[in-house]
């Protein structure tokens, strides 16, 4: 007869752990969308640059944090993006799946917390006199998940507009960080600008596709961002 003095501790199976971590991507905009093995193979075959989730050790565990950049022409890793830069890319591409944005209200110096319901992004390529540029229109709807502004009325139109502008400014910081890091420092297009250009201007694309990442590094990107606060997590003053 066997006697167990202590029940064996359950160990996390690595594949299950990674699967659970991947599911959390659906609830945050600070991690890149899931990149499957098939998707990665397609990107590499097309010599298209891309990002994928980065796994890092954290205390006695592992976590998803930021992203790794893979250059399409060489299929080699260039470096990493931090959480803020990854979040900015998700706003730029419209692939964010939720989460929050925190910002400080300039009038009251109190925290505003915006809970993301959806993010929509439209990339519009332009070619004028042979020069390529992009306009990006980003819209997001959400709510104030917490209203710490006890001196403000969350139903007052002026407060709503000020809160929307505050969140817009904060998100633009994230977007600009993402553009600066990918376009200027790493000189790669990981947001799909080239694909959009190829659809609207196929002839132009044929001329630039072989050295697109290098061309992209000098292309102007103009971003128009709108935040719409639709509902509130807590009520304002009555």
Residue 8: the pLDDT is 47
Q: Is 76 exposed, middle or buried (0-12, 13-18, 19+ CB in 10 A)?
A: exposed
pLDDT band at 6 (very low <50, low <70, confident <90, very high): very low
Q: Does 228 score more than 90 pLDDT?
A: yes
DSSP code of residue 7: P
Where residue 209 falls among pLDDT bands split at 50, 70, 90? very high
Q: What is the DSSP string of 155-220?
A: T-HHHHHHHHHHHHHHHHHHHHHHHIIIIIIS----SSHHHHHHHH-HHHHHHHGGGHHHHHTT--
Maximum Cα interatomic distance, the chain, rounded to a whole number of Å:
87
Nearest to 161 by CA among 226, 116, 234: 226
Q: In degrees rounded to 5, what are phi and psi of residue 77?
A: -75, 130
How confident is the model at residue 26, as a pLDDT? 53
Quickly state the pLDDT bin for 33 (edges 50, 70, 90): confident
Mean pLDDT of the chain: 84
pTM here? 0.82
Tokens at 204, concatenated: 């132009």
Q: How many angstroms separate the CA atoms of 193 and 89, rounded?
A: 12
Q: How far apart are CA 174 and CA 223, in angstroms?
A: 12
Percent of the chain with pLDDT over 90: 55
14-232 folds as GMP Synthetase; Chain A, domain 3 (3.30.300)
**Where is pLDDT greater, at 106 or 31?**
106
Residue 234 is classified by DSSP as S
Report pLDDT digits (tens) over 118-157. Answer: 999 999 999 999 999 999 999 999 998 765 555 555 667 8
pLDDT at 167 over 50: yes
Q: Which residue has the higher pLDDT, 166 or 155?
A: 166
Torsion of CA 128, 183, 221, 83, to 10 degrees: 160
Name the phi and psi angles at 72, rounded to 5: -65, -40
d(CA 228, CA 33): 24
User: ∠218-34-231 over CA atoms, to 5°?
Assistant: 85
Q: Side by side, which strands form the sheet with 100-104?
A: 100-104, 111-128, 131-147, 221-232
């Amino acid at each position: 007869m066997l006697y167990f003095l202590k029940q064996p501790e359950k160990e996390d199976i690595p594949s299950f752990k990674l699967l659970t971590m991947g599911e959390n991507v659906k609830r945050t905009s600070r991690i890149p969308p899931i990149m499957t093995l098939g998707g990665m193979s397609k990107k590499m075959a097309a010599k298209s640059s891309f990002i994928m989730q980065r796994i890092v050790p954290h205390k006695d565990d592992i976590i998803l944090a930021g992203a790794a950049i893979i250059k399409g022409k060489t299929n080699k890793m260039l470096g990493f993006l931090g959480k803020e830069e990854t979040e900015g890319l998700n706003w730029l591409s419209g692939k964010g799946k939720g989460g929050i944005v925190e910002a400080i209200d300039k009038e009251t110096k109190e925290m505003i917390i915006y809970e993301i319901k959806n993010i929509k992004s439209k990339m519009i390529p332009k070619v004028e006199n042979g020069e390529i540029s992009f306009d990006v229109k980003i819209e997001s709807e959400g709510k104030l998940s917490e209203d710490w502004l006890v001196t403000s009325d969350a139903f007052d139109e002026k407060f709503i507009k000020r809160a929307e502008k505050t969140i817009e400014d904060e998100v633009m910081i994230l977007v600009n960080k993402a553009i600066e890091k990918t376009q200027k420092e790493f000189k790669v297009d990981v947001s799909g600008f080239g694909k959009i250009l190829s659809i609207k201007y196929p002839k132009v694309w044929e001329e630039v596709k072989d050295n697109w990442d290098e061309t992209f590094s000098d292309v102007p990107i103009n971003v128009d961002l709108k935040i719409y606060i639709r509902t509130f997590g807590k009520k304002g003053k009555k």
